[in-house]
Amino acid sequence: MDYQQVVRLLRFARNDNTGVMQSSRFVIKKAELYTFFHITVKGTLMKKRKFYSIISPLFFFIILIYSGVKPLYGAEEEGHVPANSKFYLGPEDLLEISVWNDETLNKQVIVRPDGKISFPLIGDVLVQGRTVEEVRQEIENKVRPYVPDAPLTVMVIRVSSPKLYVVGKVVKPGVYIMPEPLRVMQVLAMAGGITTFSDSDDILIIREENGRQKIIKFDYSRVANGKALEHNIYLKPGDTVVVP
């Protein structure tokens, strides 16, 4: 493999519009490719430790610039909760609760429409509108008298809560959970706010009703100044907020 082959591979990858370039896994693969090429260049075997300490950080930085990779703040697939957004549980979410060394207390439970789950020994627990860690702590505290010093874990197996979507020039675009009614300004805050270069006066809300899509305009500046608070409407599940 020579230098021209490496360049051709990178150019092909850069021109690929399938979205693969937004995957950190692909960046790592390119980094490995660079590492292989520079270790074997001109048949010279270089000392790995010295090479990595000097060359690797520089080339990894060059790779990122060349490929135009940007971090994905939102969810990459349906049902996945962005790690950098605070997730609140809601109805129909599927949870797996496990108590170490006690298989009888390992359960999968679905959040009921009333926002509660049922768990052995302790009965009903309200989980709607709460984080996974908050729920874990409450269940662990209630189970402790029956199973002392037993570590307990709570995992979200499936997210079925109502979702809405925020795209465009916000800090954290992506899929957001709607455990309770939310207004436009609240959702923009969840997405980290609008960016400096956004056209905040031309925000659009795309909503589907009766099989047809309709557009609702939202003037951020007027609402923020308290001049058009009636535009700060409640969003509905499935709405898409577009910040141009």
Domain boundaries, the chain: 3-67, 94-158, 163-243
Average pLDDT over the chain, rounded to an integer:
73
Is the pLDDT reported for residue 31 higher than 60? Answer: no
Tokens representing 173?
């675009």
What pLDDT sits at residue 86? 59
Q: What is the spatial distance between Cα 48 and Cα 40, in angstroms, rounded to a whole number?
A: 11
What pLDDT sits at residue 103? 83
Instruction: Kindly give the pairing relationship between strand 240-243 and strand 163-168.
Output: parallel
pLDDT class of 185 with cuts at 50, 70, 90: very high
73-128 pLDDT per residue, tens: 333 333 344 434 457 788 888 999 998 878 888 999 999 988 899 999 899 999 98
Query: Which of residues 196 and 178 earns the better pLDDT score?
Result: 196
Q: What is the spatial distance between Cα 80 and Cα 94, in angstroms, rounded to a whole number?
A: 13
pLDDT class of 184 with cuts at 50, 70, 90: very high
Please state the pTM of the whole predicted model.
0.44
Please compute the mean of the pLDDT values over residues 192-205 and round it to a whole number: 92
What pLDDT sits at residue 16? 47
Share of the chain above pLDDT 70, in %: 64
Is the pLDDT reported for residue 153 higher than 70? Answer: yes
Cα dist. 1→9, 40, 47 in Å? Answer: 11, 9, 19
Please compute the mean of the pLDDT values over residues 30-44 and round it to a whole number: 41
What pLDDT sits at residue 8? 55
Kindly give, in sequence order, each residue whose CB lies less than 8 Å from that of residue 2, ignoring residues fewer than 6 positions away: none
2: phi then psi, degrees, rounded to nearest 5:
-110, 180
DSSP for the chain reads --HHHHHHHHHHHHH--SSGGG-HHHHHHHHHHHHHHHHHGGGPPPPHHHHHHHTHHHHHHHHHHHHT-----S-SSTTPPPTTS-----TT-EEEEEETT-GGG-EEEE--TTSEEEETTTEEEE-TTS-HHHHHHHHHHHHTTTSTT--EEEEEEE--S-EEEEEESBSS-EEEE-SS--BHHHHHHHTT-B-TT--GGGEEEEEEETTEEEEEEE-HHHHHTTS-GGGSPBP-TT-EEEE-
CATH tag, 163-243: 3.10.560.10
Query: Which of residues 186 and 81 earns the better pLDDT score?
Result: 186
What pLDDT sits at residue 5? 53
Cα–Cα nearest to 239, from 173, 195, 184: 184
CB contact burial 159-171 (16+ within 10 A = b; e otherwise): bebbbbbbbbbbe
Is the pLDDT reported for residue 66 higher than 60? Answer: no
pLDDT class of 165 with cuts at 50, 70, 90: very high
> Do the domains 163-243 and 94-158 match in fold?
no
Tokens representing 153?
């874990």
- Residue that has been written with the tokens 């949870």 in this structure: 95
What pLDDT sits at residue 109? 93
Q: What is the spatial distance between Cα 84 and Cα 147, in angstroms, rounded to a whole number?
A: 33
CATH tag, 94-158: 3.30.1950.10
